Amino acid sequence: MAAAAVDSAMEVVPVLAEEAAPDAAGLSCLVNLPGEVLEYILCSGSLTAADIGRVSSTCRRLRELCQSSGKVWKEQFRVRWPSLMKHYSPTDYVNWLEEYKVRQKAGLEARKIVASFSKRFFSEHVPCNGFSDIENLEGPEIFFEDELVCILNMEGRKALTWKYYAKKILYYLRQQKILNNLKAFLQQPDDYESYLEGAVYIDQYCNPLSDISLRDIQAQINSIVELVCKTLRGINSRHPSLAFKAGESCMIMEIELQSQVLDAINYVLYDQLKFKGNRMDYYNALNLYMHQVLIRRTGIPISMSLLYLTIARQLGVPLEPVNFPSHFLLRWCQSAEGATLDIFDYIYIDAFGKGKQLTVKECEYLIGQHVTAALYGVVNVKKVLQRMVGNLLSLGKREGIDQSYQLLRDSLDLYLAMYPDQVQLLLLQARLYFHLGIWPEKSFCLVLKVLDILQHIQTLDPGQHGAVGYLVQHTLEHIERKKEEVGVEVKLRSDEKHRDVCYSIGLIMKHKRYGYNCVIYGWDPTCMMGHEWIRNMNVHSLPHGHHQPFYNVLVEDGSCRYAAQENLEYNVEPQEISHPDVGRYFSEFTGTHYIPNAELEIRYPEDLEFVYETVQNIYSAKKENIE
């Protein structure tokens, strides 16, 4: 009977979606249905929020069913924004109608801000204070972030500029939150030894768009611990570690029992799960991110050691981290508690080398040099994180293709969060800002990020006067240039001086010599680079030298290049260019070419017509030939 009632009632649902109110007979039929059936209809997914609002205004019975804290509005919220439901507890009282309104308002505000970014920041990187209006937003930050994620997840090859700036804003918001959490974490007393938590903060900061949480990573490690316990049970069914409960902080003192745990860990990690040190691709930042270590089952000594240490401690083995030069290790005490110990009272564990247990001499053989006893000492969480970030910093300095230097910027932020008075790193950060042109929105503002850094350096180390003075001078020169800038340079294809320009922005090209695929995002009638660049790039060896059009191109490998016209040709099989800055210049990929966004089109207003003509001639002709 109930099923029949539901089926019958569902026929009334389309009536509710009409602008006009239902007639008296239909309304009477509807309100006389059992409450659970009515609720089922209203939550069926056939009605929008506007429909629910109209339904609730028809009579008291439906208004009561659509109360703001009830199931109907909760379902409306869940269907519209499912990813937000994890933030609510089933036991909490929630005014779902009010939450719906606040989330809707946050979404509109987010889209308004994203839409404004391209116009404001097209000509330069988003500046240091470019996010100030975001920081002052009203309402829960998670709602704003959720809308940004919705923009990023929009289907198809459209809205590329929106996605580009939504990604930048989301990146910034999450990094600020993570950095604040890290700073609070670093204020914990020295005996607070959550090495994994600190490592996860580093992972999150460098990968803010990934869904990484300490809870999820800990859950994966707990699964490994369960496998270790299963193996341990086969070694010693009465082992005390098997009685430990999750979250307990217990230690076993007998060396033999500890040894059994380590044997089980080695078997599960290296034989069963096939974890291993990444010798083939050692200098890869992924080796330092804990979520990637667990996914790829490989890492470098410090990340493998943190995984090994976390598992061992959960099972009662008090291993300790050792900041050994060139190769991070763990140490395992072999003497009774309370005894006076030296470096020979420990066995050293190489988690990178499949858990191999080493003596002091073997440790020195591992790195090929003799070291002092101090380097065998245990280190606290902050020192471990310093080494991890130091590794990332070294990798960031090696970046060649990524011209945004994102890894270098992220690792500098992390290092200076831990050690804010590192003069050389502050100088490096100032140079990086200067190189990338990351300036505040109003460049004449006295409180510039670069000048702030330089002033801090001068206070810390007056001996850096020369380097600081150089950067200050160039920063002030930049301010003066920005004051003198006039309008936007517009390049017309119809202009006589541009008659030799053959290609247009948005076309997918191939480099004749190097074979890379790229998309044009700018052009000059002749080479506009300086004499030094022309000489270094051997431009004079080209048949037409520098007296030919040159094109700014985004290359599929992530680089930006300046290519001579004679070196480019149409790509007869056009494909999307996976460059991080595509959205900065283009709004859509059509399958044959990119469509410029409003800001790029202002600068090249006649190019789109030439693009359509070229696409018609090149790709339509090819299609006809195939047919």
pLDDT level of residue 42 (50, 70, 90 thresholds): confident
Asked if 320 and 378 touch (Cβ cutoff 8 Å), the reply is yes
Lowest mean pLDDT among 40-49, 257-266, 577-586: 40-49
Average pLDDT (299-314) is 97
Residues of the chain above pLDDT 70, percent? 81
Residue 16: is its pLDDT beyond 50? no
List, for residues 508-529, the tens digit of each pLDDT value.
999 999 999 999 999 999 999 9
What is d(CA 307, CA 240) in angstroms, rounded to the nearest whole number? Answer: 22
Boundaries of every domain in the chain: 31-80, 98-187, 195-387, 422-487, 496-620
Q: What is the mean pLDDT of the chain?
A: 85
Residue 561: is its pLDDT beyond 50? yes
Task: Return phi, psi of residue 127, to 5°.
Answer: -75, 175
Average pLDDT (119-124) is 76
Residue 469: is its pLDDT beyond 70? no
Average pLDDT (500-505) is 96
pTM of the model: 0.81
| pLDDT greater at residue 469 or residue 62 | 62
* Full DSSP string of 138-164: -S-HHHHHHHHHHHHT--SS--HHHHH
Burial (Cβ within 10 Å: 0-12, 13-18, ≥19) of residue 164: buried
How far, CA to CA in Å, does 24 sit from each of 9, 21, 386? 15, 9, 73
Asked if 524 and 550 touch (Cβ cutoff 8 Å), the reply is yes
The residues facing 434 across adjacent strands are none
List, for residues 596-624, the tens digit of each pLDDT value.
999 999 999 999 999 999 998 887 655 55
Average pLDDT (456-477) is 60
Residue 410: is its pLDDT beyond 80? yes
Q: Residue 450: what pLDDT? A: 54
Average pLDDT (271-277) is 97
Q: Residue 133: what pLDDT? A: 67
Pick the closest to residue 283 from 296, 297, 294, 299 (CA basis): 299
Across 436-460, b (16+ Cβ under 10 Å) vs e yields eebbbbebeeeebbbbebbebbbee
Residues 6+ apart with CB under 8 A from 173: 131, 134, 141, 144, 145, 148
What is d(CA 266, CA 284) in angstroms, rounded to the nearest whole number? Answer: 24
Identify the CATH homologous superfamily for domain 496-620: Hemimethylated DNA-binding domain (2.30.30.390)
Question: Cα torsion for 123, 126, 132, 136, to the nearest 10°?
Answer: 100
Q: Residue 420: what pLDDT? A: 84
Provide the 3-class DSSP secondary structure of residue 265. helix
| pLDDT greater at residue 192 or residue 451 | 192
